[in-house]
Amino acid sequence: MRDGTGAPRAETVFMTDLTTTPDLTALSAKLRRDDQAFRRSFALGQFGADEGGADPVAPRPAAPAPARGAEARARFLALVESRLGVDAGGSVSDRIDRLLASMPPAAIPGWLAELEMEPADGAGWAALVDLLTVHETYFFRDQDQLVFLRRSVLPGLIAARRNDQLARLTVWCAGCSSGEEVYTLAMLLVDALCDAGEAEIRGDGRICIQPRWRVSVLWTDIDRGVLGQAQSGCYSDFPMGPFRSLPEAWGGYFDPSTRLPPYGGPPVRVVRPEIRALTGFLPHNVISADPPTLDACLVLCRNVLIYLSDRARLHAQALFHRALSRDGALALGPTDVMRQPELFQPMWGASTVLYRKK
């Protein structure tokens, strides 16, 4: 955007009242636009490899001014960890520094005092969650693990329940962000039910599951801001976007025609309504006292625990154990470490691992 002289105009994103609080929604949107712009430019080959031939690295936005006041920063980090369980390092630390650098020093103590008084599910914390968390996800992420799950775990879970008068398959996807992994799991469940003769995909693409089955993919996230997109099942199709790893054979789980946004931009693909109907959302933090379900046959929490403190990771894995049924399985991210080996038995695939509840 340019001013009247033709020179670029700075984008104001962070303050609504220079004496009180930052506009966290605007700052969060700015950071997300930076991330999306990089991914698209990277996919189009606009960034080259470094001199050593390594993979291209994102040219990050200019570093923010140093956070004003080490004492205020330490106080804020401790508050974030106690309320959210987040270990404020890496990209989280960068975002925290941008936030604090955007505020007048005199406003920070009062703002922190307000946060300390506000419950963790309040509006101020909700805005902070959206700012600090990274919503990087896509369909069929970590395919080795999903193939192992589909071939070696789901058939057994279905077989163990198919003789029940009311057969239930409950899956909990924790920290699901914008929903791509949730819908991936729902597709895998339908595919496994079809193989077992408990569902079918008809010639017109409609998905029909035998009435006695109750299939539910419960998705939770600490960030309520992701709810709208995830519920709609609408995703933009651009390079390095949510469809980067979608196998061609699974395209039938989306509406056959794409949509074009009215104001331009990449085309939009929509998850079929039968798949969306299998899912349901609850706001939830994995450091909460109780899980959202106690009879999950599968819990999936990938690329979430890496952002948590050690104490929060231990709590979360114990929570997953409570949520699982006696034969349930847990799927973690490839960089996550099992901190509760006394609770889970590893199940090794060719290049991945799942965990069975002990």
pLDDT in tens, 151-163: 999 999 999 999 9
Residue 310 · residue 320 · CB < 8 Å: no
Which residue type does 203 have?
A: G
Q: Name residues whose C-beta falls within 8 Å of residue 58's C-beta, 6 or more positions apart in sequence.
A: 38, 42, 47
Statement: residue 16 has pLDDT above 70? no
Statement: residue 291 has pLDDT above 80? yes
Statement: residue 208 has pLDDT above 70? yes
Give the confidence band of 47 by pLDDT, cuts at 50, 70, 90: very low
Flag the least confident range among 22-26, 82-86, 96-100.
22-26
Cα(134)–Cα(138) distance, integer angstroms? 13
Cα(37)–Cα(50) distance, integer angstroms? 20
pLDDT of residue 349: 94
Q: 358: helix, coil or strand?
A: coil
Cα(205)–Cα(72) distance, integer angstroms? 56
Task: Write down all domains in the chain, each with its CATH number in brackets.
Answer: 24-132 (no CATH), 143-357 (3.40.50.150)
Any alpha helices (H) in the chain, and if so which ranges? Answer: 24-43, 70-84, 90-101, 108-117, 123-132, 143-148, 154-161, 180-195, 227-232, 273-276, 310-323
pLDDT of residue 310: 92
pLDDT in tens, 124-168: 787 787 777 777 899 999 999 999 999 999 999 999 999 998 899
189 burial level (CB within 10 Å; 0-12, 13-18, 19+): buried
Strand partners, 168: 214
Checking phi first, is residue 10 left (phi over 0); if not, alpha (psi -120 to 50) or beta? beta
Which is nearest to 131 in space by CA: 27, 222, 285?
27
pLDDT of residue 14: 37
CA-to-CA separations, 144 to 36, 135, 249, 327, 349, in angstroms, rounded: 26, 21, 16, 22, 8
Task: Please give the distance of CA 150 from its chain centroid, rounded to a whole number.
Answer: 21
Strand partners, 268: 236, 259
Flag the least confident range among 69-73, 171-175, 210-214, 266-270.
69-73
Q: 42: helix, coil or strand?
A: helix
- Is pTM beyond 0.75 here? yes
Give the confidence band of 260 by pLDDT, cuts at 50, 70, 90: confident
Q: When comparing pLDDT for 113 and 31, which is higher?
A: 113
Statement: residue 2 has pLDDT above 60? no
Average pLDDT over the chain reads 82
Which is nearest to 171 in space by CA: 344, 163, 161?
161
Q: Which helix (H) or strand (E) holds 213?
A: strand 213-221
Cα(103)–Cα(71) distance, integer angstroms? 15
